[in-house]
Amino acid sequence: MLKGIKRHIIGAVTALFAISLVAAGCSNGSTNDKVRVAEVTRSIFYAPQYVAIEKGFFEEEGIDIELTTTWGGDKTMTTLLSDGADVALVGSETSIYVYAQGTTDPVINFAQLTQTDGTFLVAREKPDTFNWEQLKDSTFLGQRKGGMPQMAGEFGLKKNGIDPHKDMNLIQNVDFGNIPNAFASGTGDYVQLFEPTASLFEKEGIGHVVASFGTESGKLPYTTYMSKESYLNKNKDIVERFTKALYKAQQWVDSHSAKEIAAVIEPYFEDTPIDLIESSTERYKEQHSFATNPILDVEEWNNLQTIMDEAGELPKQVDHSTLVNTEIAESVAK
């Protein structure tokens, strides 16, 4: 029995109908094809997706997006597997977990959105000069075991000579949504955070960004669009148009400033000041977190499995061609 997120992905399937689907975009009685997308969380990290919706790129391709935030890899995959969504936006590791459990309808990655880890190392005290040795004997507030943030974080730590399970007090029993509050209330010397929380903590003096796990872990299919193989086979034209709209947004994001991007995606982050949206977007652009095309290549796929293996979470090696369809993305990006 696989542990952590792997167990929940399959075991939670029957809970699908308890998930409330809240649409951020819906069909208005048009003749467009509706595509139900379940995103794993709401994040500035996913800026190109919101740009594609707000700039009308999906609509141009005859697609109405029904967007649901499912809050967690297990819930997202549950929604997809039980036909509560057509497309999932989630870490590629989840497709490997499902495949390893055995399935006649595997989940196929067909378009990549982000190509690095999206978390940053935040220190409670700002050092005069940062070096990784400072983490030894510290208390580190990490992410959930088996999830991509934690695995990428562990990879980055080990790369810099820190064994997270031996050299520090690693805390992993705090729910994803409660990690920022736990750190703000005094738990941990270091924490692994996404934007805009990392920038917000700097602004409020709660913590200080000292390193990027995205930079440390290299390129990988951190967040991708995936569907069941049966859906792809039946709806190739829709998926191709979906990917074409995404590619337009990726190119738009790549060629526009963080300020321009922030102005477009602001409606998706009503509780976040526009300056934080902008600074967070700039950070992600600087480290090339946003993929500039939807192609998930072999090198990135293999790096993902290396990181999973290093964390002891890779159930089996899976060939790129087994769970990745690049035909559509390559056609669109030509």
Read off φ and ψ for residue 167, nearest 5 degrees. -95, -5
What pTM was estimated for this model as a whole?
0.89
Q: Is the pLDDT of residue 16 over 50?
A: no
Six-digit token string for 188: 């941990």
Mean pLDDT of 89-115: 97
* Residue 19 clears pLDDT 50, i.e. is over it: no
What is the CATH number that goes with domain 119-217? 3.40.190.10
Residues near 123 by beta carbon (within 8 Å), at least 6 away in sequence: 130, 134, 189, 190, 207, 208, 210
Q: Is the pLDDT of residue 223 over 70?
A: yes
Query: Are the C-beta atoms of 76 and 70 separated by less than 8 Å?
Result: yes
Burial of 187 per CB tally in 10 Å (0-12, 13-18, 19+): middle
Domain 4-116+219-333 has CATH 3.40.190.10: yes
What's residue 7's pLDDT? Answer: 54
- Nearest to residue 225, comparing CAs of 214, 241, 213? 241
Q: Write out the residue limits of the CATH 3.40.190.10 domain(s) in the chain.
A: 4-116+219-333, 119-217
Tell me the C-alpha distance between 52 and 332, whole Å.
Answer: 15
